[in-house]
Amino acid sequence: MNGLPARRLLLVHAHPDDESINNGVTMAKYAAEGALVTLVTCTLGEEGEVIPPGLAHLAPDRDDALGPHRVGELAAAMAELGVTDHRFLGGPGRFRDSGMMGAEQNRRPGAFWSADVDEAAAHLVGVIREVRPQVLVTYDPDGGYGHPDHIQAHRVAMRGAELAAQAAYRPDLGDPWRIGKIYWNRVPRSVVEEGFARLEAAGAEVPFPGVASPDDVPGVVADERITAEIGDEGTGPQGAGGDGAFAAAKAAAMRAHATQIAVEGPFFALSNDLAQPLFAREYYELAAGRPGAPAGTREQDLFAGVDA
């Protein structure tokens, strides 16, 4: 029906760049395999800090022009991943970046954090009923690390999935659609520890002034909680950029978010200039739906067990 591809993946993120950091490998893989990959980004990331000195004037306390600039960065990142369906929740600029927890910007009219969850979720229902994804990827209830927009993106994604399935809810937004599987972005603790050990071993060769800590990595959980793992065939978790085609696409997509991310080989840094390992494999915890792999093993395909 409608000529939609057989497999359809929806990702909901808070800001431009979150999708490439969390899911770049996964998005590149499914796009390459002919699945419909739909990205919904909830804000333009207007409150971000700017890394390149030449673009410092874009910052919110100066020209406040970072949002439109990041629309362009996101488009370039999606070109690297081969993803053509990317949208902003309610249209570009409908919801504004809320800044960090406790920031005054949280309460500004239009801030995503102060938006009504059901009202924001209605925008997502329209997308879900249009593209009818079997799989949804978003953050855990803490947004991975407590950023207000990430927490809100989680709430809106989960509520949108629930409302989209209800026949009585807003029939004007399309026929009801039930998403088969919902995943939260995760990183297994052992992978994070290995990654930081690698950073430590690189010592003075790490091309950033400082090193982040494992606590700076969002969504870290005990290895046993990971239910799915996606990566280039035959490659390990460490060192995106050279391991395989999808890992290389992820590194290129992250590089496209140049106001937010500096990528150097297998490491990257955000505006705090602290090096982090760039992971070439991505990990998920199934939050809703039936697992497509035997208990105690990890799925190698987010669509495992879903009906096309």
Binding residue ranges for Zn(2+)? 15, 18, 150
Looking at the Cβ atoms of 14 and 122, the one nearer to Zn ion is: 14
The secondary element (H helix, E strand) that includes residue 134 is: none
Residue in the structure block whose two tokens are 């280039």: 232
Which CB atom, from 7 or from 96, has the smaller least distance to Zn ion?
Answer: 96
Identify whether the C-beta of residue 6 lies closer than 8 Å to the C-beta of residue 303: no
Residue given tokens 């100066």 in the structure block:
62
In terms of CB distance, is 35 or 254 closer to Zn ion?
254
Shortest Cβ distance from residue 22 to Zn ion (Å)? 9
Q: Is 186 helix (H, G, I), strand (E, B) or coil?
A: strand
In the complex, the smallest distance separating the C-beta of residue 144 from Zn ion, rounded to whole angstroms, is: 9
Nearer to Zn ion, 15 or 86 (CB): 15
Of 11-19, 50-58, 126-134, 288-296: span binding Zn ion (CB under 5 A): 11-19
Q: Is 154 in the site for Zn ion (CB under 5 A)?
A: no
Measured at CB, which residue is nearest to Zn ion? 15
Q: How far is the CB of 1 from Zn ion (least distance, A)?
A: 34
Q: How far is the CB of 260 from Zn ion (least distance, A)?
A: 9
What does the block give as tokens for 130?
A: 């249009």
Output 15 or 250, the one with its CB closest to Zn ion: 15
Of the candidates 262, 270, 275, the residue with the CA atom closest to the CA atom of residue 208 = 275
* Contact (Cβ atoms closer than 8 angstroms) between residue 275 and residue 267: yes
In this chain, which of 8, 15, 69, 129 binds Zn ion, going by CB under 5 A?
15
Longest Cα–Cα distance of the chain, Å, equals: 61
Q: Which of 16, 18, 173, 260 binds Zn ion (CB under 5 A)?
A: 18
18 vs 80, beta carbon nearer Zn ion:
18
Q: Where are the alpha helices (DSSP H) in the chain?
A: 18-32, 66-81, 117-131, 148-164, 189-202, 245-256
**How far is it, in rounded angstroms, from Cα 23 to Cα 124?**
19
d(CA 243, CA 278): 11
Min. distance of Cβ 149 from Zn ion in angstroms? 6
Cα–Cα dist 286/282, whole Å? 13
Instruction: Work out which of 14, 137, 247, 249 binds Zn ion, going by CB under 5 A.
Output: 14
Region near Zn ion per CB under 5 A, out of 9-17, 60-68, 110-118, 193-201: 9-17
Residues that bind Zn ion (CB under 5 A): 14-15, 18
